[in-house]
Structure 1
Amino acid sequence: MSPSMFPTQHAAVLHAAKDLRLEERIVWSPKPGEVQVQIASTGLCGSDLHYYKHGRNGEFAVRQPLVLGHEASGIVTAVGAGVTGLVVGQRVAIEAGIMCRKCSFCQSGRYNLCKSMRFCSSAAAFPHVDGTLQTRINHPAHVVHPLPDTCSFEQAALAEPLSVLVHASRRAELTAGQSVLVLGTGAIGVLACAHARSLGASRVAAIDINQTRLDFAKKNGFADQTYCFPPADSPKNAEEQLRRAKENASLALAALDKEDGFDVVFECSGAEPCIQMSIHAATTGGKVMLIGMGTKNATLPLSSAALREVDIHGSFRYANTYPAALELLSSRKLGNVEKLVTHRFKLQDAKKAFETLERGVDEDGLLVLKVMIGDGQVS
């Protein structure tokens, strides 16, 4: 059969920095063990934006055309041989990581650390694995999750970033009654606030340099308290930066009436000054969860952490979180989480969607947090 006889679809394909093209591609049938999903909603992530802006995300440069997007939901349109538990017409969320299922990490349940992990819309592996900014995608059935009846496609697309916080909260052993501080109130930071509240945190505070984001977090009930740092000159050296981080932590804690620090600090910005400040902002015996990925190498005040027994934990993606995340999203325990989605675009307007996310404000000057691409429904 000639290629012209196969059905086709559209995909948003990145060829180089800022070179995003809407292309027509063949729709292939799913292989054994796969299902085909017609995409309803895809949320844009910070890593997607890095690829769009720079043609790379950290050390991983795009070496071949790559379909972006990995926060997605849709409906099953075809089922490959050997698949059980999923049927055509079923509403699902797509877990973007494809693990080997054989290594020691996979066998022990920590498959997010699988060294053979292949992740949709990431250039970490070669050949790259295309993401979800396309009409349909074939994906392994074992990482496709049925949606609760009350979970919308847009909510389900939030399961991927929410999973990051479910995983981090489990590592922090966050329990009801603990106080939580979130550094950085982008989409991940707002979800950190929402998830902490859903677990019964006694107080949730947020810190940022962007007052508009903080106002959003407080107005919509995600944070009890907020603190905005004013603009400041860059420190002259590492010693001054560490000193300033300690001073800034003290100022923030005093303003938040929490001089002794918070039980758990979620560092969601990835900025070195915030990472440094997070250690001082944690209470004695508290925990710092490193979630933001913006700084490759950071100078840390480890003596402060050691003397006060502040535990510093890394947190990378997620494992075994999707059922819990989807249940949370359908339960209304996350408050106004749907308001996190501030802007919506069609697939053919993907380039405009990325440009809007990059600016951080839309043409009317309104805050941009989570951008969704898709119809939110399927035919």
Structure 2
Amino acid sequence: MPTSVPHATTTAVVAHGANDLRVERIERGEPAPGEAVVAVAYGGVCGSDLHYWRDGAVGESILRAPMVLGHEIVGVVARPAADGSGPAAGTPVAVHPATRHPTEVRFPADRPNLSPGVGYLGSAARGPHTPGAFAGEVNLRASMLRALPADLDLRTAALAEPASVAWHAVDRAGSVAGKRVLVVGAGPIGALAVAVAHRGGAAEIVAVDVYEHPLSIATAVGATRTLHAGEAAEIAAVDADVVVESSGTQQGLASAIRGATRGGTVVLVGMLPTGDQPVPISLAITRELTLTGSLRFNDEIDAVLASLTDGSLVVDPIVTHTFPVADALRAFTVAADPSVSGKVLLDFRER
């Protein structure tokens, strides 16, 4: 188990700019009264982390100062919050990485993920940036912490955050029980969407990708059939009730629209580049498709953790690599190659 260190510095993974990733010692600082000190066990490398590393930006969120990366983390409470809130010391926890801030912009009260006032760990969307949690120890609001059952392995629980993103995306289409589901893009989020749809009772799940490796992972977590992204006619013939577009590409969105049945639903969870996208929108009109966006998640993490614990949500095959934090650059390099990797984890337990 991770343990607290007796000083206020810690090893962290920091993006200083495009192609400038460093593993370095940083000041942890003292926690606020409502914050706990969490000794991080595992951190999952997300697509946004890769963009900050390679591009120095994620869409309009531009890196303007060095920033600790990471928002997919699990660990153990090393020091509980001084105000008595949150889990006790020694409790294994997953982390909900969002913090709500006041805003005057309108959004549905029951969908706080749409609030522009939400801060996210490891995000350059706001100034100053919100530091992430790829560090040996981090100070986190007690309200972010979700106590884990003793029989839920930390390595499995490390997928709770991205699985919540996938859960939210599948939920945006309503029930998938007995339906045919098409998932375009079988990277970690796509594979997790397959797993969630499988748990939800989908009758058929077809996964699409450009590489064989992610398709094999999708099969392991519930896909009943796989197609190569270049098989345009076969994808169009899927005739899916629900399509989850998780590739974040123009070609993927076009395939998603063509692969949907008349009156079907297409959920867009893959983040497309900023700006207009050339897609066959006329088909969405003439087939009366429902196109719906999906952004992060709200409280789905609680259902995810319960499903990971009871074994109804199978995610273990999605983790393909684990690297010690000292090898963070190598981990990011592997994670950036979807032909050989699924979810890549950083191990902070030995540092």
Q: Does 1:275 find its partner at 2:275?
A: no
Q: How many aligned residue pairs are there?
A: 345
**What is the alpha-carbon distance in structure 1 between the residues aligned to residue 103 and residue 89 of structure 2?**
29
Q: Once the two structures are superposed, what CA deviation does each residue of 1:23-45 show, in whole Å capped at 9, x if it has no partner? A: 22233232022111110000000
> 1:327 offset after TM fit, Å?
1.1
Aligned match of 1:16: 17
**What is the alpha-carbon distance in structure 1 between the residues aligned to residue 65 and residue 83 of structure 2?**
31
> 1:330 offset after TM fit, Å?
1.6
> 1:107 offset after TM fit, Å?
7.9
Aligned match of 1:94: 95
Taking a change above 3 Å as real, the CA distance of residues 356 and 77 of structure 1, as seen in their structure-2 partners, is same
**What is the alpha-carbon distance in structure 2 between the residues aligned to residue 327 and residue 105 of structure 1?**
32
**What is the alpha-carbon distance in structure 2 between the residues aligned to residue 71 and residue 22 of structure 1?**
18
Q: Please report the TM-score for the alignment, with normalisation by the length of structure 1.
A: 0.85
* One-letter amino acid matched to 1:10: T
Structure 1 residue aligned with 2:234, among 230, 233, 251?
Answer: 251
> 1:77 offset after TM fit, Å?
1.3
Structure 2 residue aligned with 1:338, among 273, 291, 316?
Answer: 316
> 1:150 offset after TM fit, Å?
2.2
Q: Does 1:314 find its partner at 2:293?
A: yes
> 1:118 offset after TM fit, Å?
1.4
**What is the alpha-carbon distance in structure 1 between the residues aligned to residue 221 and residue 293 of structure 2?**
27
> 1:21 offset after TM fit, Å?
1.8
Q: Does 1:357 find its partner at 2:335?
A: yes
Aligned match of 2:267: 289
Gaps of 5+ in 2: 1-5
Percent identical: 37
> 1:102 offset after TM fit, Å?
7.1
**What is the alpha-carbon distance in structure 2 between the residues aligned to residue 116 and residue 83 of structure 1?**
26
Q: Once the two structures are superposed, what CA deviation does each residue of 1:317-374 show, in whole Å capped at 9, x if it has no partner? A: 1111111111122221123x2121111111111111112222345xxxxx21111001
Instruction: Check whether the contact 1:75–1:378 (CA below 8 A) recurs between aligned residues.
Output: no
Instruction: Check whether the contact 1:249–1:281 (CA below 8 A) recurs between aligned residues.
Output: no
SS of the aligned residue for 2:52 comes to helix
Q: Does 1:191 find its partner at 2:180?
A: no
Aligned match of 1:167: 168
Q: Does 1:369 find its partner at 2:331?
A: no
Taking a change above 3 Å as real, the CA distance of residues 107 and 216 of structure 1, as seen in their structure-2 partners, is closer
Taking a change above 3 Å as real, the CA distance of residues 212 and 7 of structure 1, as seen in their structure-2 partners, is closer
**What is the alpha-carbon distance in structure 2 between the residues aligned to residue 211 and residue 57 of structure 1?**
27
Instruction: Check whether the contact 1:284–1:308 (CA below 8 A) recurs between aligned residues.
Output: yes
**What is the alpha-carbon distance in structure 2 between the residues aligned to residue 207 and residue 20 of structure 1?**
32
Instruction: Check whether the contact 2:36–2:82 (CA below 8 A) recurs between aligned residues.
Output: no
Aligned match of 2:124: 123
Taking a change above 3 Å as real, the CA distance of residues 378 and 95 of structure 1, as seen in their structure-2 partners, is farther
Q: CA RMSD in A?
A: 2.1
Instruction: Check whether the contact 2:44–2:159 (CA below 8 A) recurs between aligned residues.
Output: yes
Taking a change above 3 Å as real, the CA distance of residues 76 and 105 of structure 1, as seen in their structure-2 partners, is farther
**What is the alpha-carbon distance in structure 2 between the residues aligned to residue 64 and residue 102 of structure 1?**
24
**What is the alpha-carbon distance in structure 1 between the residues aligned to residue 107 and residue 94 of structure 2?**
21
* One-letter amino acid matched to 2:300: T
Instruction: Check whether the contact 2:67–2:122 (CA below 8 A) recurs between aligned residues.
Output: yes
Gaps of 5+ in 1: 231-247, 362-366
Q: Please report the TM-score for the alignment, with normalisation by the length of structure 2.
A: 0.92
**What is the alpha-carbon distance in structure 1 between the residues aligned to residue 89 and residue 164 of structure 2?**
26
SS of the aligned residue for 2:345 comes to strand
**What is the alpha-carbon distance in structure 1 between the residues aligned to residue 78 and residue 212 of structure 2?**
44
Instruction: Check whether the contact 2:221–2:317 (CA below 8 A) recurs between aligned residues.
Output: no
Taking a change above 3 Å as real, the CA distance of residues 106 and 253 of structure 1, as seen in their structure-2 partners, is closer
* One-letter amino acid matched to 1:352: R
**What is the alpha-carbon distance in structure 1 between the residues aligned to residue 140 and residue 129 of structure 2?**
14
**What is the alpha-carbon distance in structure 2 between the residues aligned to residue 159 and residue 12 of structure 1?**
21
SS of the aligned residue for 2:336 comes to helix
> 1:52 offset after TM fit, Å?
0.7
> 1:271 offset after TM fit, Å?
0.7
SS of the aligned residue for 2:248 comes to coil
> 1:194 offset after TM fit, Å?
0.6
Report 1:296-311 matches (<5 A): 296=274, 297-311=276-290
> 1:101 offset after TM fit, Å?
6.3
**What is the alpha-carbon distance in structure 1 between the residues aligned to residue 172 and residue 218 of structure 2?**
24
Instruction: Check whether the contact 2:180–2:202 (CA below 8 A) recurs between aligned residues.
Output: yes
**What is the alpha-carbon distance in structure 2 between the residues aligned to residue 316 and residue 43 of structure 1?**
18
User: Rg larger in 1 or in 2?
Assistant: 1
> 1:252 offset after TM fit, Å?
2.2
Q: Does 1:180 find its partner at 2:181?
A: yes
Aligned match of 1:325: 304
Taking a change above 3 Å as real, the CA distance of residues 101 and 94 of structure 1, as seen in their structure-2 partners, is farther
Taking a change above 3 Å as real, the CA distance of residues 216 and 111 of structure 1, as seen in their structure-2 partners, is same
**What is the alpha-carbon distance in structure 2 between the residues aligned to residue 74 and residue 106 of structure 1?**
32
Aligned match of 1:235: none
